[in-house]
Amino acid sequence: MANSDVTVPRAAVGNGDQILHVEHATHRFGDVVALDDVSITARRGEFLTLLGESGSGKTTLLRIVAGLERPTRIARIAIDGEDVSAIPASRRNCTTVFQHYALFPHMSVGQNVEYGLRVRGIDRDQRRKRAEDALALVRLLDKYGRRVHQLSGGERQRVALARALVTQPAILLLDEPLGALDEKLRVDMQVELLDLHEKLGLTFIYVTHSQEEALTMSDRIILMRRGRIVQEGPPTDLFDRPASRFVADFMGVENLLEGTIESVQNGTASVRIGGHVISGAWSGTGLAERGAPACVAVRAERIRLAPRGATVDEPGVNALPCTSGATIYKGKYLDQTLDTDIGPVKARIWDRGVDVTDLEALWWRESECAITSAENGAGAGSGEEADAA
């Protein structure tokens, strides 16, 4: 295969099937703390997403794995069993797909893709063959001789992908690669990426700020905020069982109602809000404690409406009397705000025929809402939360 000065030799010691270990990484830019004692692992072949808003540290973490950034402090970083803390980016067995592609403008598409092989000293014919294979993989073989500026955004993205893949890295790092594409193209590319992932069996570490993207593509999501991990787990975990108000909010839960825990029982918590008691599955961090602040997170799709006159008295259901508020047309559904005595609640109305003018109450199943820690919750690492909003 490639020159030995580039490939990271396989470790003799078995590491289970963990291909990446990052332990206690801290990074500062001047006074700003970008990463605060973060540790992650990645399993061989998984599609891991680092999710967060800007400033959360996800890109910094990615760059530290790539070797493009040397962390201020780190206990251990190992790729495929070998400690790479002293190894520069050029010799680590991972490649990056950059947000703005970073395709070399003075080289043709083919030359761009060949670049990684060229600097490894691979001879011309071999290079050409492998580059063509990589381009075929992203269905751009016919653009081999074109110049970069002649390609569209989506095509450039695929070339960047091919370029990163041709060197057969152990880990592929993707830094918000779909951010610059329009919506339709983005969705198509997501599917392509998933295909590639399955076909190649490589470990992907993907950075994005879009929770929808993360949900679509990941095997596992690590949600970060201000340099700390706030929740990690498979997509369903973050979607259905957010650990804190922040996570719920980030994952798109429309209705977040804050109150105090009144009672706890077998993983179910009951929260008093105003004059109501609302129950749901406890998904917050740590154990639920009586008297602690908590947040009820219920998605708008789960809200049902009871017209006047109907009674809501099934067991395992939370109900709130309400009146209609604003309606927003969203094409596929109507975004209906309902006013209750503990605040507005959003519901989605899929059926046009539903009459919302005179309602008795709104209700949802206890099993379909989560009770989370209030505010941001404690992070996955150590340390107190000290932030206000």
Kindly tell me which residue out of 19, 37, 64, 67 binds other proteins, with binding defined by CB under 8 A: 67
For residues 280 and 372, the answer to whether their CB atoms sit within 8 Å is: no
95 binds other proteins (CB under 8 A): yes
Phi, psi of 321 (to 5 degrees): -65, 145
**Binding status of residue 102 toward other proteins by CB under 8 A:** yes
Q: Which is nearer to other proteins, 122 or 261 (CB)?
A: 122
Q: Count other C-beta atoms under 10 Å from residue 248's C-beta.
A: 30
Min separation Cβ 98 and other proteins, Å: 6
Dihedral sign, Cα of residue 109, residue 105, residue 2, residue 18: negative
Report the Cα 116 to chain-centroid distance in Å. 28
Q: Does 281 bind other proteins (CB under 8 A)?
A: no
Of the candidate residues 89, 180, 187, 264, the single one contacting other proteins (CB under 8 A): 89
Whether 256 and 273 have beta carbons less than 8 Å apart is answered as no
Take residue 232 and report the two structure tokens written for it: 């990690």
330 belongs to the binding site for other proteins (CB under 8 A): no
Smallest gap from Cβ 229 to other proteins, in A, equals 24
Place of tokens 């899929």: 350
Residue 38 or 62 with smaller CB distance to other proteins: 62
Question: Is position 4 an interface residue for other proteins (rule: CB under 8 A)?
Answer: no
**Do the beta carbons of residue 44 and residue 18 sit within 8 Å?**
yes
Minimum gap (Å) between residue 257 Cβ and other proteins: 44
Is 96 or 372 the residue whose CB approaches other proteins more closely? 96
Q: Which is nearer to other proteins, 88 or 316 (CB)?
A: 88
Q: With H, G, I as helix, E, B as strand and everything else as coil, classify residue 124.
A: helix
Q: Which residues contact 375 (CB under 8 A, 6 or more apart)?
A: 244, 245, 246, 293, 385
Name the residue among 211, 221, 229, 259 with its Cα closest to residue 385: 229
Binding to other proteins, residues 142-201 (CB under 8 A): 149, 163-164, 167
In this complex, which beta carbon is closest to other proteins, that of residue 67 or of residue 154? 67
Examine residue 32 and tell whether it contacts other proteins (CB under 8 A): no
Select from 61-69, 177-185, 186-194, 240-248 the region that touches other proteins (CB under 8 A). 61-69
Task: Please report which helix (H) or strand (E) contains residue 326, including its range.
Answer: strand 323-329
Beta carbons within 8 Å of 205's beta carbon, 6+ residues apart:
20, 42, 48, 49, 50, 62, 65, 171, 172, 173, 174
Terminal Cα distance for the chain, rounded: 53
Backbone conformation region of residue 102, classed left if phi is above 0, alpha if psi is from -120 to 50, else beta: left
User: Count of residues binding other proteins (CB under 8 A)?
Assistant: 26
Only segment of 36-44, 96-104, 325-333, 358-366 that touches other proteins (CB under 8 A): 96-104
Contact 171, 202 (CB under 8 A): yes
Sequence-ordered list of residues with C-beta below 8 angstroms from that of 261, at least 6 positions apart, any chain: 269, 270, 271, 272, 288, 289, 290, 291, 292, 293, 294, 371
Q: How far is the CB of 177 from other proteins (least distance, A)?
A: 13
Stretch that binds other proteins, among 10-18, 97-105, 206-214, 305-313 (CB under 8 A): 97-105
Q: Which is nearer to other proteins, 150 or 323 (CB)?
A: 150
Q: Map residues 109-148 to x or -, x wherever contact with other proteins holds by CB under 8 A.
A: ------xx-xxx----------------------------
**Which of these segments, 90-98, 312-320, 321-329, 350-358, binds other proteins (CB under 8 A)?**
90-98
Please pick, from the candidates 10, 76, 91, 290, the single residue that binds other proteins as defined by CB under 8 A.
Answer: 91
- If the CB atoms of residues 203 and 283 are measured against other proteins, the closer one turns out to be 203
Which CB atom, from 171 or from 369, has the smaller least distance to other proteins?
171
Do residues 365 and 20 lie in contact, with contact meaning Cβ atoms separated by under 8 Å?
no
Binding site residues, other proteins, CB under 8 A: 6, 66-68, 88-91, 95-96, 98, 100, 102-106, 115-116, 118-120, 149, 163-164, 167
